Chain A
Amino acid sequence: MFEVRDLIGGYGKLEVIKNINFDIKEGEILSIIGPNGAGKSTLLRALTGLLPNLKGSIRFLGEELCGKPPHYYASVGIAHVQERHRVFGTMTVRENLLMGAYIKTKRQSIEKNLETVFELFPRLKERLKQQAGTLSGGEQQMLTIGQALMMMPRLILLDEPSLGLAPLLINSIYDALMKLNEQGMTILLVEQNVKKALQISQRAMLIENGEIVLQGNSQDIKNNETINKVYLGMA
């Protein structure tokens, strides 16, 4: 459903991502793994229109998105959950969730979506009137994912959902992502936590220096010798 062809981009004259080609299939979790500074987040910024210098093609359900402004992506059904759980700190949890419904205006579907989010993250319902800036890191991460779900996306792009969170919280976030995927949500997951990412995803790609160096089934990649040595710390 999401096809990326010959994507090249960066800041100014600096090319950060080079010649990226991949597909996301409907209903799967595809994870992008790689070391710090490999270009994972930059790639995600490129995929959501936030990178200014971009060449190549990004097609979503047949529509060309390369060159479209960032706010357009939400309207075609792509939600981007950014790194470091960025909530609107001075708004309440409820207001944050409603902001997610910016492009949807039907009252009924908003109420229904809120229920879906609460089912996934009951904690958010308890904190509905609390200022989002006062939530814990894990709760903020839940909120940003909840906010993304409010727009009823077809595809969610997640940037390092485990970043800076305690292991227990990471597990509950990942459980939620699994549940979403079982319900049919397509997810692109950028993650430094290689073990977690390979566990949850059906397919994975390894990025180094802005290039895809390995692509395949998560299971195969898990068993790949280099990956084992370098990223999972097993001989």
Chain B
Amino acid sequence: MENQGYRKKDILGLLVALIVLSFLPLLLPSENYKYLYDILFTLNIIILLSTSWNILGGFAGQVSFGHAGFVGMGAYAIALLHYHCKLSPWLIMPISGVAAVIGAMIIGVIALNLRGPYFALSTLALAEVTKLIVEGWREFTQGTQGIVVSQGDILGIKATGGVYFLITLWIAGFALLTAILIKQSRYNYYFLAVAENEDAAMAVGINSKRFKLYALLISAFFAGLAGGLIATHTGFVDPESGFDMVRTVEPIFITIVGGIGTIFGPVIGAILLVPIGEMLRSEFTKAHLLFYGVLLIIFARFLPHGIVGLLKRRFK
């Protein structure tokens, strides 16, 4: 309530980092560093997804196991519009976020009446149901066959690795900015109150369902965007890859390791884990998940506030 202003340095730091990083494609041309840009794309997407998960799970305390559902909705929104209406995915990218928001509203009506683990499980179930609908509705979605998304040009510019890097960088930056703005606003306290004790929050007059819905919708928007970007980058989406459980699990791991409920926890977690994960992934598929899982157990046991929590304790 009185911390307005002290986050100014967070916003400034974020903008400086975004601008500096924007010069990277000039220094390292996309043609020579294809693999690097693939990893950087993954990194940005994971920061975006983890920040999305963190707004709902960390700020508002509503643990979601259904983020893969929002990612899939975003991915399919772009793919279907591209397939049926021949629209360039780049022009309609925001629609991926909007589609996930609409999906989240429907899921919210059902899931937000439930609390704690019941909420988490219902999001998991509803994400799975969405996937099954997409799989079964063959005339519209081509079912398990999937849809090809042509990447095309972005307003005349060829979509190289560097371009993908820039776009995802700024979208992830936008998500982080949203997180900072929430943190410094009164809403942070309302989210926190609902997270800590929903009954007590209602007793002081907070409409807890409304604030949980806000957090869910903001979170779903960014998860949907991530889905649209992934589908366009891969150039293909099918139910298996679009609604991949990894998109739920990874953000949870990374947010907890980085520091749940903090602004830059997801960034630190992603920068630390994604490169190691990528190295392991080349050993055998999904090896990185094994590594994340072990790390999660260690952190949950010894460092529940993540790396950011550790740093805060050190430098206080």
Residues of chain A at the chain B interface (Cβ within 8 Å): 48-50, 69-71, 73-75, 79-82, 86-91, 95, 98-100, 102-103, 144, 147-148, 151
Knowing A70-B202, A86-B199, the reply to whether A99 touches B207 (Cβ < 8 A) is no
Interface residues of B in 186-209 (CB under 8 A from A): 189-190, 192-193, 196-197, 199-209
Given pairs A71-B201, A71-B206, A82-B199, 7 additional interface contacts (CB within 8 A): A69-B209, A70-B202, A79-B203, A86-B200, A88-B193, A95-B189, A102-B190
Task: Give 9 nearest A-B pairs by CB, closest first.
Answer: A74-B205, A70-B202, A103-B205, A80-B203, A71-B202, A86-B200, A71-B207, A88-B196, A102-B205
Contacts of B209 in A (CB 8 A): 69
Majority secondary structure of chain B interface residues (helix, strand, loop or mixed)? helix
Query: Which among A71, A98, A100 has the highest number of chain B CB atoms within 10 Å?
Result: A71
A50 to B200, CA, bound (A): 11
CB pairs A–B below 8 angstroms (18 shown): A48-B203, A50-B199, A69-B202, A70-B203, A71-B202, A73-B203, A73-B205, A74-B204, A79-B203, A88-B196, A88-B197, A89-B196, A90-B196, A91-B193, A98-B1, A99-B189, A102-B190, A151-B204
Size range of the interface on B?
10 to 19
Residue on B with the closest CB to A79?
A: B203
A71 to B199, CA, bound (A): 9
Knowing A82-B199, A88-B196, A90-B196, the reply to whether A69 touches B206 (Cβ < 8 A) is no
Residue on A with the closest CB to B113?
A: A52
Interface residues of B in 77-98 (CB under 8 A from A): none
Contacts of B197 in A (CB 8 A): 86, 88
A71: which of B189, B192, B196, B205 is its contact (CB, 8 Å)? B205
Knowing A95-B1, A98-B1, the reply to whether A74 touches B193 (Cβ < 8 A) is no
Knowing A98-B1, A99-B193, the reply to whether A71 touches B200 (Cβ < 8 A) is no
A226 to B199, CA, bound (A): 36
Residue on A with the closest CB to B197?
A: A86
Knowing A71-B207, A71-B208, the reply to whether A91 touches B202 (Cβ < 8 A) is no
A25 to chain B, nearest CB (A): 23
Contacts of B205 in A (CB 8 A): 71, 73-75, 102-103, 151
Residue on B with the closest CB to A110?
A: B1
A95 to B190, CA, bound (A): 11
A126 to chain B, nearest CB (A): 19
Interface residues of B in 95-150 (CB under 8 A from A): none
A155 to B133, CA, bound (A): 51
Residue on A with the closest CB to B261?
A: A90
- Structural contact, A70 and B199, CB atoms closer than 8 A: yes
B297 to chain A, nearest CB (A): 24
A53 to chain B, nearest CB (A): 14
- Structural contact, B202 and A99, CB atoms closer than 8 A: no
Query: Which among A49, A75, A86, A102 has the highest number of chain B CB atoms within 10 Å?
Result: A102
Contacts of A87 in B (CB 8 A): 200
A82: which of B193, B203, B206 is its contact (CB, 8 Å)? B203
A99 to B211, CA, bound (A): 15
Contacts of B190 in A (CB 8 A): 102
Residue on B with the closest CB to A83?
A: B199
A173 to B184, CA, bound (A): 35
B210 to chain A, nearest CB (A): 9
Contacts of B199 in A (CB 8 A): 50, 70, 82, 86
Contacts of B1 in A (CB 8 A): 95, 98
